[in-house]
Structure 1
Amino acid sequence: MCFVIVTSRSLLWSLLSIAVVLGHLIALGQPYWLIGESRSKYIGDHTNVTRPEGETSDQWSPSIGIFNSCRQLTKFYQLRLGLPDSIRCTIYTNNFSGIASGFWKASVVFYGIGFMLLSFVFCVAFISLCKRSICHKSIFTVSGFVQAVAGLFIIIALCLYPIGWGSESVKQVCGQDADPFQVGDCRIGWAYFTAMGSTVLLFVCSILSVQADISTSQDEIQDEINKGKSLICLFW
């Protein structure tokens, strides 16, 4: 018989664990890890060009992520014809070897390992509603350990990322002053902070998993099971 057991602490752990995975997924997919200074869309001898319909600003900011970037890709005649979306955000490489820096490649490897571990916890977060053990071990403590290990891998990835700021791709966005741990003319974007915040929350989940295990092992839970209930909710 399957028992669905929900407590406030186990539910909080599940929701935060899902939020962590989504946070890292959003951070990885965005090109806003480094954001360059604002630049004019209209350069050279074409400063008098009519602004395309729908354009609200003559300024744009290039940006770059681990494997994608936002750059001005259209030519002057496209602006003159009024074609929209003059800024393109695309993957700048189609293979692993094309990633901008060797340190970024290492960062992707460590981040990928951490994210795979988090994907495991993502699935476990749903299973934990009706299953309390894996291989005779508490499903929460196992998940908490996996989350801690994943957090260590992701921390390594986030520390390796700034070392790659001296690559040529970063210099194109941030200027020639860009070097390891020096962003040059850029600023750190919200995607990198999202990754950092999600990592902090990840360790909070790892600690909370202990409390989730305690809350689902209370005597009251066993009493409810003995009464024949299949859905047990204890919000304390």
Structure 2
Amino acid sequence: MVTYCIWCCDPTHLPIPAEKPVTMRSSLTMVGTLWAFLSLVTAVTSSTSYFLPYWLFGSQLGKPVSFSTFRRCNYPVRGEGHSLIMVEECGRYASFNAIPSLAWQMCTVVTGAGCALLLLVALAAVLGCCMEELISRMMGRCMGAAQFVGGLLISSGCALYPLGWNSPEIMQTCGNVSNQFQLGLCLSKHAKSRSLAIL
């Protein structure tokens, strides 16, 4: 007598193969991933430094004053009876032409362009870590060249910055002895951090 197991052949009882989880593939090697991370850190650091108004430190009317290319902390305004009072807050200049010197205007544009270029490259590099075949070898070389140009722009902006140290605002803050590449009574960011470390 032959018996058949009908339910054994029922396709509804067959095991269903588990679907493989979808993983994000990177178009970068391990070295490329490290490059993407360092690019992001560098771009964020450069852009933050560009925005913060702590490039130059001095004092005016007994109050601490600090500058960057297009921002300033603590500035004098006319009070009652032609007296000057210090407003203790940070802000940018009212317009591009209000930036104290031509050198600082050029520095603002050049350094800002360099930071923007570094941020674009860093964003593309981070996307390359998540998307397959986004960054080819040729694309990587072009991005490296763009980073080099961005670094040159930021370096040029830093070289232009001391050319504006002879502006009236800097002379009021740093003393009349200040001139191009000569700070007078003021301190640069590096010198201030070094003096604080000594104290």
Q: TM-score, normalised by structure 1?
A: 0.60
What are the residue-to-residue correspondences of 1:165-176 with 2, within 5 Å? 165-176=165-176
Q: Which residue of 1 aligns with 2:25?
A: 3
Inter-CA distance 162–125: structure 2 relative to 1 (3 Å threshold): same
Q: Answer yes or no: is the 8 Å Cα contact 1:35–1:187 preserved in 2.
A: yes
Structure with greater Cα Rg:
2
Q: Which residue of 1 aligns with 2:35?
A: 13
Residue 176 of structure 1 aligns to a residue whose secondary structure is: coil
Q: Answer yes or no: is the 8 Å Cα contact 1:14–1:126 preserved in 2.
A: yes
How far apart in 1 are the matches of 2:153 and 2:94?
A: 24
Gap runs ≥5 in structure 1:
41-59, 77-85, 194-236
How far apart in 2 are the matches of 1:132 and 1:145?
A: 20
Q: Deviations over 1:6-43 (max 9, x none)?
A: 64322221111111111111111111111015874xxx
Identity across the alignment (%): 28
Q: Find runs of 4+ consecutive structure 1 residues off by over 2 angstroms.
A: 1-8, 37-40, 72-76, 130-134, 136-140
Larger RCO (CA under 8 A, 6+ residues apart): 1
Q: TM-score, normalised by structure 2?
A: 0.70
* Shift in Å, 1:155: 1.2
Q: Which residue of 1 aligns with 2:143?
A: 143
Q: Answer yes or no: is the 8 Å Cα contact 1:131–1:139 preserved in 2.
A: no
Q: Which residue of 2 aligns with 1:90?
A: 91
Asked whether 1:115 is paired with 2:137, we answer no
> Among residues 20, 23, 26, which one is paired with 2:48 in the alignment?
26
What are the residue-to-residue correspondences of 1:19-168 with 2, within 5 Å? 19-37=41-59, 40=62, 60-71=63-74, 87-91=88-92, 93-129=93-129, 130-132=131-133, 137-168=137-168
How far apart in 1 are the matches of 2:178 and 2:172?
A: 9
How far apart in 1 are the matches of 2:109 and 2:43?
A: 17
Gap runs ≥5 in structure 2:
1-21, 80-86, 194-199
How far apart in 2 are the matches of 1:153 and 1:166?
A: 23
* Shift in Å, 1:118: 1.3
Inter-CA distance 21–62: structure 2 relative to 1 (3 Å threshold): same
Inter-CA distance 114–179: structure 2 relative to 1 (3 Å threshold): same
How far apart in 1 are the matches of 2:35 and 2:44?
A: 14
* RMSD (Å) for aligned C-alpha atoms: 2.9
Q: Answer yes or no: is the 8 Å Cα contact 2:53–2:73 preserved in 1.
A: yes
Q: Deviations over 1:175-230 (max 9, x none)?
A: 1111000011001015x99xxxxxxxxxxxxxxxxxxxxxxxxxxxxxxxxxxxxx
